[in-house]
Structure 1
Amino acid sequence: MVKAPVDRNNARIATTPTTAQNGAPDSGVPGANSAQNAGSATTAGATIQDVIVTARLREENSQDVPIPTTALSGETLNREHHATVKDFTQKAPSLTVNAPNARQTSIAIRGLGKNSANEALEGSVGVIVDGVFISSVGMSWADFSDVEQIEILRGPQGTLLGKNTTLGVLAITSKAPSFTPEKEVEVTYGNRDLFVTKASATGPVIDDKLAYRASVYFNHQDGFLENQQPGGEAFDGASDRWGGRLQFLYTPNANVTNRTIIDHGQSNEPVNVNFPVRDPQTYSDNGASRGNTYTSRLARFSYQQTFNSWDSANLDGQKRIGTSQNGVSTQTDWRTGGYTVTSISAYRDFAFDALNDSDSTPLSISRGGTLVDAKQYSQELRVTSPKNVEFLGQKFDYQTGLYALRNEVETTSRTTYGTDAGRFYASTVQYNALSAQALSDSLNGVFLRAAEHPNTTSLAAYGQTTWHATDKADLTLGLRNTYEEKTNWIQKWYVGGVDLSSLYSGNTLNYVNSIRNGQTKLLTLGTGPLVGETIYADSWSWLINPSYKITDDILGYFSVSSGEKSGAVQFDKTTGAPANVDPEKTLDYELGLKTSWLDRKLTLNPNLFHTQITDYQAQLSTILAGQNSATSYLGNVSGVRLRGVEVEGNYVTPIEGLRLTFSGAYNDAIYSDFKNAPCATDLSYTSTQVCDFSGKRLSGAPRWIANAGFDYTREVADGYTAFFFVSETFRTRANLNTSLSVYGWQDEYFLTNAGVGIRPDSGAWDLSVWGKNIFDTHYFTNLSSLSSTSSVSGTPGDPLTFGITFRTKL
C-alpha cells in the first residue's frame, strides 16, 4: 500500500508543478497549488519532506530561510482540534496567548507583546491573515477552520511584514480555491454539549479561469463554571460562534492571478469570568492588617465569598460577550519578465460588547464593560524579483513595496452601580454613620461613561534584498521607513443617581457625596471632549542577516535587526493633561542552525536569541490618593531584556509509521531597567512608593517551555489505517501578575492531548476520538492584583474537553 509523504514541522510539503490543477496557470497565491497533507503516515525508509513557507513573501524551503520560524499545517491543526490562536500555543515554542475575551486577547512571543485592552496601544506581535495585517487583536477572536498553514516568525519582521511586528509575526494562510472539485463535511460531538460542524466546497466556476471556495463553521460548547443563580448559565470554556468565508480565484491568463476573500464571523458567548482566587487580610510584607478588604466589605451583607472554585460561580449581572467582524480583501499578482507585482487591498471591521458582573457576587454592586467599534483600511503594493538577478556580475533577489493603513476606533466604557454599591464602597466611618437608605442613595443608579477615539494613519516604504555572494554564502539586508500620525480624544462623565443635596444635609450630605465622588471624580474631566497631543512619528526598521550553507544539510545564520513601534496618545488619569506613551524600540540578535541528519530522517534547528527592548509599552497600575481600587494606565518600561535558546525538531523513527516532534525554549526574560514600577497592591507601602523591578523576571514569561509529541499510523485491515497522536505541553513556574505580586504565581504544569482514529486509504473519511487537557489540569493564564474592593482573581485555562469527530469528503 502506498503511504503519504511526511510533512516536516507539520506544515504543507513542497510541490514543483508550474501549473495549477486541470491545467490552470500557477496562481501565485500561497497555498493555492500546494500538496495536501494526508496525515502523518510514514513508510520504512521515509524521509522528512521539504516544507514550503512564505516567511519572506516568496515560497521557500523552510530549512533555507535564515530566521527562526515554526510552520504548522492546517491538517495537523484540524486533526488535533486546534482552531484558535490560544490553541496554537500548544504546538509552537515561545508563543503564549491569554484570551479571556476578544478585546483582551494577548499574543506574546518570548513573553512579550501582550495586549493591554486599550485600543490606543497596539501589540508588538503582528497577526497577518491571508496577507492582511490585523490592527485590532480582537479580529483574531474566531475559529480558523479552513487553514492551509500557520507560520510563527520570531524577532523583528518589519522590513517585510506588516506594521508593529517588532517582536514577531503570527501569519495564518487559509486554503485557496482549487479547480479540482472537492467537498468536505466535519461533525464533532463532545462533553459539555460540544457540537461543532464545518463544511467546505471548492471547484471551478469557469474552467481554468475562475474557481471558488466556500467554508462555514458553527461551534457550541457550554462553560465549566456553573452559575448558582436561578436561571444562570455556565461561564468560561464556552463557545457560541459561527463564521464563513467565500473566496474566488481568477486566472484570466498565465500572468495574472486575483484572489478575493469575503469573510464574516460572530460570537455571543458566556466568557470572561475571572473567579476570585484569594483575599488576604494582611499585607504580604509586614503582616499588618489591610483594613477594609473585599471580604470585610462583603461581610456587611452577611455574604461569604467562595474562593478558588473551579466549577461554580455566583453572579447576578454577567452577560454574554458579543463580537462581530467582517472583512474583504483582494490580492492581484501580475507576473512579467520573471518579476511579480502584487497588490493587496483590504477592509476589516470589528465590534465588541461586554457587560460584566464586576463584583463577582449575586449582590447588586456594579456591572461594567466596553463597547468597541473598529475599522481598518489597508493597501499594499510590492514588487518581487526573480531569484538570481544579475547586477554588476553578482546575483541578487529583492522585494520592495509601499504600505498604507488607516485605523479608526471608538470605545465606550460603561459602569453601572446598583442598590448595594454605596454600602460596599463606603469607608468604615461612612458605613457606621449612614443609614441603609443613605448608603443606597449614594451610588444607586449612577452610570459612568468614558469614550475614547484613537485613530492612526500609517504610511511605509520597505525593501529587502539578498545578495548571493557565493553558492553557499548569502547576505540579506532590509530597511523600512514608517510615518505615522496618531490622534485621540476622550470624554468622561456620569449620569443618573438621585439628587443627594435635595435629600441630605450636613455631615450626612458630606458622607454620601464622598462615597459618590470616590467612584466618579476621574469621570468628570471637563464638560467636553479632551483632545490629545497628536503624534507625528517617523521610524526606521532594519535587518542585517548573513547566512552560510555549511553543507547541503546544514545552514548557519546570524541576524541583527531593529524595529520601532510608535507611541500612543494618552491622558493623565487625574488632570486629563496629555501624557503620551513613548515609542517602543527593539534591538534583536539571532544566531542559529537549520540542520538535517540521518539521511533526512531528523531535523534539528537550534537558535540563540538576545533582544533588548527600550521603552516597552505596557499597562501599568497604581492606587491614586482617595481611590478605593487600583487604577491602570498606559506607560513605558525603560528596559526589558530577553535572552535564551530555542530548538525545534522532527524525527522519522525506524519504526514504520512513527514520527516524533519536539520543540522547546529557555527564556531568561527580565526587566533590565524598571526603577519606577508600580508596587504590588498587597504591599503596605503601595500608595507612597514605587518599586524597582530591575533584574526581576518579566511577568507572564515562563523560564522553560517545551512541546513534544508523536504520531503513529498502522495498517489494521486491508485498505484501512489507524492513527494515534499524543502531544504534551510543559511550562515552568511564572508570575502572571503585572505588578509581580506574591499572589501572582502560577506553578509549573503539563497539558496532555491525545487522539485515536481510523480512515480508509482512499482518504474519503475518517473517524476519531480525542481529548484535550485529558488529565484536567487546573491552571491560570492571568492573575490580577487585589485592592480594598477586589480580590486576587484569575483567568482559568480550559479544562478537559473530549469528543468524537467524523469527517468525510462528498
Structure 2
Amino acid sequence: MKKSPLKYFPAALLAGAAVGAHSQALEEVVVTAQKREQSMQDVPISVAAVSGAELESRNINEISDLSRVVAGFSFGEGTSDAGRNILVRGVGTQTFSRGVEQSVGTVVDGVVASSVASSLLDMSDVARVEVLRGPQGMLFGKNASAGMLNIVTRNPTAEFEAGIGASYADANEIKLNGFVSGPLLGDSVQGRLSLYSNQRDGIIENEYPGGEDFNDRDEWGGRGKLLIQASDDLDVLLAMVHSEREHNCCVAPSRFVNPGSIADIENIPTGPENDKITEVETSPGSTELDQYSAELNYQLGSSTLTSITAYTESEIYSNSRAAGLPRTLLPINEGDSDIEQFTQELRLTSPGGATIDYVAGLYYFKKDMSREFDRTIDFYGLGVVPVPGVLGSTLINDFTFSNESYAAFGQATWNATDTFRLSLGARYNHEEVEVDQVIDNLPGTIPEAPAGRSQASETDDDVSYRVIAEFDIAEDAMLYASAARGYKGPGANTLASGASTPKPIVDPEIPYAYELGIKSQWLDNRLRLNAALFHTTFEDFQTSVSDGQVPPTFFLDNAGELETRGIEIEVSAQPSANLMLMGSLAYIDAEFTDYTGAACYPGQSEAQGCIGDVQDLSGKDMPNSPDLTASLTARYFIPFASLPFDGFVQGTYFYQDEVQYDTRNGPDSIGDAYNTVDAAVGLEARDGRYSVQLFVKNLTDEFYVTGQTAANATGSGTHFLAYEYQRRVGISAQLNF
C-alpha cells in the first residue's frame, strides 16, 4: 500500500488533521483531552492538537514556537527559564514567586511538569501536543486555572522501527535526533529509546572585547520506554527521562537610553532594531531533569483501571549578572533550586458507547522545593560611586517550600439521545502549603528587604465542577455549551518581601468559565471548521503587588479580578488531492477588572495615575496578550510519477497585533504589530523512508520583538528577540529504517 507523501506534515495547523495524497478527505484526529481516545470533533471543549510529524516538518521543538501554531497560545519572556511563562487566552502566571503553581499547566505522558523551567525542555519524539483552553482539573492531575499543555510522546512499537534526523540553520543551529523501537522479548516486551541534541550560537552579539554572545542554546536528553504485556488484561509501561540544558541567557538588547543615565554615559548599542550589547559579565543558566514513571493499565471487566506513578527530580541554576553595561552591576545574582516531586494517579475509565460513560479517579501530589538565592549590587554599576567594588546592597533569600495535594475527581456523560449528550464533572481538592523563608543582608550594606524569618502553612478544601451540553445539529456538526468553576490552590510568597509580608500565603485563584462552541466537518469531510466563544472571570488572581514605598517592595497578593473573553476560529480544508489549506484566528480581550495597589511604570506621574507609588490597573490590559492573532498555511503536493519520491512546497503567514508586554501597562512596553512568512520546499520518498527540505523562517526579514520593557535601573529600555527576529535559512533531513 502506498504511504502518504504527506507523512511528515499530517497535521492541520490548528486541528492536527492529516490527509492522503490522493484523498479529498481530512483524516480523523484522535486526542486524549478527556482521558480517553476520542476524535477531536467529538470532544466538547476547545482543544487544539498538533502532531509530532507537523512539529518535525516545521523544525519546531520549543514550546515557545507553539504561539505560531495554536490560536490563543502565547509565551512570556523572562531573564531566565524560571522567569518565563505560558499563557492561554491571555492569562498566565504574573509573579516570580516560586511558591505559586502555574496558571497554565504542562503534562507529559500523564505526569505534571515539576516546574516552569523543566516544562520548557525539548519536545523530543512527540506523538502530539494538545492545548486545552480554559480551566482544567476535572480529569488532569494538578489543577490549572487557565489551560493545559498535554504532551504525548511516542510509545514502543510491535515492529522494529528506527530513524535519525538532522537540521542545520543560521547561527550554527544544529538539531540532531534519533530513535529505535521494537520487540525485545517476542510480543510480550517492547522497547523504545530516543535521543536528541540541540545547539545554537548566541544570537545577541556582544561587542565587549572578549565578551560572550548571549541567548545561545545547548541541550541534550533522552527517553527510554519499556512496554510489558504482563497478561491479556495487564500491560505495564515503564519510562525514564533525562534532559539537560545550559545557556548564557536571557539578555534583552537596549532600544533606547535615557539622557544622562549610566547606559547613556557608557554609550551602549541602542536603537529600535538593535540586536547588540556591550556586556562585561555573563548569565549562565542550567536545567537538569530526571523522571521515572510507571503506567499500569488493567482491564477490570469492560472498564480500564489505570495507575500512573511518577518521581521527578530537577535542578535549576541561574546567575543572571548581565545588565547590558561594560561595567559590573551585579557581581552575584545567583539562584540554585532543587525540586523533588512524587505523583500517584488511579483512574477508572468506562469502555465508551454506553448510555452513561464515565471517568473517575484519585490523585496524590507532593512537591518539595529548596532554593538559595544571593544577590549583590555594585554601586559603581549604578553610577553612585566613582570606583568599582563598592557593594552597596546585598540580599540573601533562602527558602523551602512544599505543596501536598489530595484529590478525587470524575466526569460522567449521559448519552440521552442520538443527538444530545450531557456531561457533569466534579473534583474535590485538599491542598496543604508550607513555606519556611530566611531573608538576610551582609553587615554594613543597604538592605534590600527587612531581614527575618517567615514560617507559614495553610490548608484548603475546594470543589470545582464542569457542566457540558452537546447537540448534534448535523451528521458531522456539533454545538456545545459549557460552564465551569476551576481552581488553583493557595500560593506562597517566596519573594524578598517574605519575612515582612502581612500575608505569606495568598488565597486560591478561582476562574468561572463559560464557553459556546461548534465542531463541524462539511463537504464530505473536505472542510473542517471549529470555533469557540468564551468568557472567563478570575477571582483572587495571584500576582505581585507593590507596597507603595520608595523604592517599592513587591509582595505576592490576590489582585482581585480579571476577565478574558473572545473567539477562536480554526479551519482546515482539502480543496484538491494536492492542496491543503489551514487557518486560524483568535480575538482575545484580556484585562484586569479589579487590580489596585499595582506598581507604577517608570516615570509615571500623579496625573497619569501614580499615587503614592502605586496605581490602579483596573480596566488595563493583561501582559503578553495580543488582541488579534491570525495564521494561514498552504501546502501543495507535487507528484513525480517516474521517480521514487514526490515534492512539496509549503508556506505559512502569521500576524500578531500590537501587545502590552508589561504588567504595569507603561507606554514604553507596547510592542508593535508584526507579520512573518515561513516557507519550505522539499522531497519525500513515497515509502516514507526519507525526506529532505530547505526551509526559510521569516522570509521577509521582518524585525519583531517577543518582549519589551521600560527603562530599568541603568536607564535603558530593552526588547527580547526570538531566534527568527531576522531571516533564518536551513536544511533538514529525516531517514527512517
Conserved? CA contact 1:315–1:360, under 8 Å: yes
Amino acid in the other structure paired with 2:375: T
Question: Deviation of residue 576 (structure 1)?
Answer: 4.7
1:525 aligns with 2:451: yes
Give the deviation of 1:612 after TM superposition: 0.7
Q: Unpaired runs of 5+ in structure 2?
A: none
The reply on whether 1:401 has 2:367 as its aligned counterpart is no
Q: Please tell me the residue identity of whatever aligns with 2:656.
A: R
Decide which structure has the larger Cα Rg and report it: 1
Note if contact 1:622-1:687 (Cα within 8 Å) is conserved in structure 2: no
1:305 to 261, 268, 277: 268
Please state if 1:377 is matched with 2:342. Answer: yes
CA shift in 2, pair 1:108/1:155, >3 Å: same
| Per-residue deviation, 1:191 | 1.3
Residues 425, 455 of structure 1: alpha-carbon distance in 2 compared, 3 angstrom cutoff? farther
Instruction: Name which of structure 1's ranges 604-613 and 748-757 shifts more when overlaid on structure 2.
Output: 748-757
- After TM superposition, give the deviation of residue 197 of structure 1 in Å: 1.1
Q: 1:569 maps to what in 2?
A: 492
SS at structure 2 position matched to 1:555:
strand
Letter in 2 for 1:806: A
What amino acid sits opposite 1:708 in the alignment?
L
Q: Distance in 2 between matches of 1:587 and 1:794?
A: 34
1:107 aligns with 2:56: no
Aligned to 1:617: 542
- Alignment check: 8 A CA contact 1:316 1:357 kept: no
Kindly indicate whether residue 627 of structure 2 is the aligned counterpart of residue 703 of structure 1. Answer: yes
The answer to which structure has the higher strand fraction is 2
Matched with 1:475 is 422
Q: For residues 376-430 of structure 1, what are the alpha-carbon distances to aligned partners after superposition, in whole Å with 9 as ceiling and x for unaligned?
A: 11000011112244xxxxx101011000010111122221344xx247363xxxx
Mapped contact 2:145–2:488 kept (Cα < 8 A): yes
Matched, 1:550 2:473: yes
Give the direction of change, closer, same or farther, for the CA distance of 1:553–1:573 in structure 2 (3 Å limit): same
CA offset at residue 577 of structure 1? 4.4
Aligned to 2:165: 186
C-alpha distance in structure 2 between counterparts of 1:455 and 1:70, whole Å: 33
Q: Does 1:748 align with 2:666?
A: no
Task: Report deviation, 1:620.
Answer: 3.6
Q: Which secondary structure does the structure 2 equivalent of 1:88 belong to? A: helix
Amino acid of the structure 1 residue aligned with 2:468:
N
Report how far residue 624 of structure 1 moved. 2.8
CA distance in 1, matches of 2:360, 2:142: 15
Counterpart amino acid of 1:756? V
CA separation in 2, counterparts of 1:213 and 1:11?
28
Unmatched 5+ residue regions in structure 1?
Answer: 14-36, 282-294, 390-394, 497-512
In structure 2, how many angstroms separate the alpha carbons of the residues matched to 1:784 and 1:706?
Answer: 25
Structure 1 residues 361 and 476, CA, compared in 2 at 3 Å: closer, same or farther?
Answer: same
1:451 aligns with 2:398: yes
Partner of 2:54, secondary structure, is helix
Identify which range, 727-736 or 716-725, moves more after superposition: 716-725
The yes-or-no answer on 1:658 pairing with 2:618 is no
Which residue in 2 is equivalent to 1:132? 111
The equivalent residue for 1:802 is 729
SS in 1 for 2:733: strand
Pair 1:535–1:425, CA change in 2 (3 A):
farther
Q: How does 1:312-331 map to 2 (within 5 A)?
A: 312-331=276-295
1:507 alignment counterpart: none
Deviation of the 1:89 alpha carbon: 1.5
Q: CA deviation at 1:546?
A: 0.7
2:567 paired with 1:645: yes
Task: Find the aligned partners of 2:312 and 2:176 in 1 and give their Cα distance.
Answer: 25
Cα distance in 2 for residues equivalent to 1:777 and 1:584: 39
Following superposition, the deviation at residue 194 of structure 1 comes to 1.6
Distance 1:554 1:193 in 2: 47
RMSD: 2.3
**C-alpha displacement of 1:697:** 2.4
Task: Provide closer, same or farther for how the CA distance between residues 186 and 358 of structure 1 changes in structure 2, counting only shifts above 3 A.
Answer: closer
Q: 1:474: Cα distance to partner?
A: 0.5
Q: Provide the rounded CA distance (Å) in 2 between the counterparts of 1:70 and 1:423.
A: 47
In 2, Cα distance between the equivalents of 1:3 and 1:441?
67
Output one character per residue of 1:591-631: Cα deviation in whole Å (capped at 9) or x when no partner.
01111111110000111101111111123456632x3xx54
Describe how 1:144-293 pairs up with structure 2 within 5 A: 144-236=123-215, 238-280=216-258
Match for 1:549: what amino acid? Answer: D
Query: Does the residue aligned with 1:448 lie in a helix, a strand or coil?
Result: strand
Q: Is the 8 A contact 2:280 2:322 kept in 1?
A: no
The separation in 2 between residues aligned to 1:412 and 1:337, in whole angstroms, is 51
Judged with a 3 Å threshold, the aligned counterparts in structure 2 of structure 1 residues 449 and 574 are, in CA distance, closer, same or farther, namely closer
- Identity between Structure 1 and Structure 2 (%): 28
Question: Is the contact between residue 254 and residue 277 of structure 2 (CA under 8 Å) also seen in structure 1?
Answer: no
Q: 1:414 to 1:777 in 2, by over 3 A?
A: farther
Give 2:330's aligned amino acid: S
Residue number in structure 1 paired with 2:594 = 673
* Superimposed CA distance per residue, residues 630-679 of structure 1 (whole angstroms, 9 cap, x where no aligned partner): 5443222211111111111100013x311001111111212222233322
Match of residue 414 from structure 1 = 374
Is 2:99 aligned against 1:120? Answer: yes
Distance 1:5 1:649, change over 3 A: farther
Compared CA separation, residues 491 and 484, structure 1 to 2 (3 A): same
Please give the alpha-carbon distance, in whole angstroms, between the structure 2 residues aligned to 1:143 and 1:119.
22
Cα distance in 1 for partners of 2:19, 2:730 equals: 21
Q: TM-score, normalised by structure 1?
A: 0.85
- Counterpart amino acid of residue 254 in structure 2: P
Matched, 1:791 2:716: yes
User: Which of 555-564 and 687-696 deviates more?
Assistant: 687-696
1:383 alignment partner AA: L
Mapped to 1, the partners of 2:555 and 2:75 lie a distance apart of 22
The Cα shift of 1:715 comes to 1.1
Does structure 2 conserve the Cα–Cα contact (< 8 Å) formed by 1:457 and 1:486?
yes
Which residue in the other structure is 1:30 paired with? none
CA separation of 1:115 and 1:765: change in aligned 2, threshold 3 A = farther
Tell me if the contact between 1:12 and 1:149 (Cα under 8 Å) persists in the aligned partners: no
With over 3 angstroms needed to count, the CA separation of the structure-2 counterparts of 1:12 and 1:639, relative to structure 1, is closer
User: Residues 781 and 557 from structure 1, CA distance in 2 versus in 1: closer, same or farther, beyond 3 angstroms?
Assistant: same
Counterpart residue identity of residue 575, structure 2: T
CA distance in 1, matches of 2:702, 2:338: 36
The amino acid across from 2:404 in the alignment is T
Partner residue in 2 for 1:19: none
Residue equivalent to 1:360: 324
Report the alpha carbon displacement of residue 119 of structure 1 after superposing the two structures with TM: 1.1
Which region of structure 1 is more displaced relative to structure 2, 681-690 or 327-336?
681-690
* Correspondences of 1:414-433 after superposition (within 5 Å): 414-418=374-378, 421-422=379-380, 424=382, 426=384
Cα separation, 2, equivalents of 1:345 and 1:443: 48
Describe the SS at the equivalent of 1:382: strand
Which residue type is aligned with residue 565 of structure 2? Answer: R
Quick check: 227-236 or 678-687, which moved more? 678-687
CA–CA distance in structure 2, aligned partners of residues 276 and 186 of structure 1: 37
Q: Aligned with 2:118: secondary structure? A: helix
Partner of 1:593: 518
TM-score by length of 2: 0.94
How far, CA to CA, are the matches of 1:382 and 1:558 in structure 2?
Answer: 26
Match runs of 1:503-514 below 5 Å: none
Check conservation: 2:512, 2:536, Cα contact below 8 A: yes
**Is the Cα contact below 8 Å between 1:40 and 1:712 reproduced in 2?**
no
C-alpha contact (below 8 Å) 1:484/1:566 kept by paired residues: yes
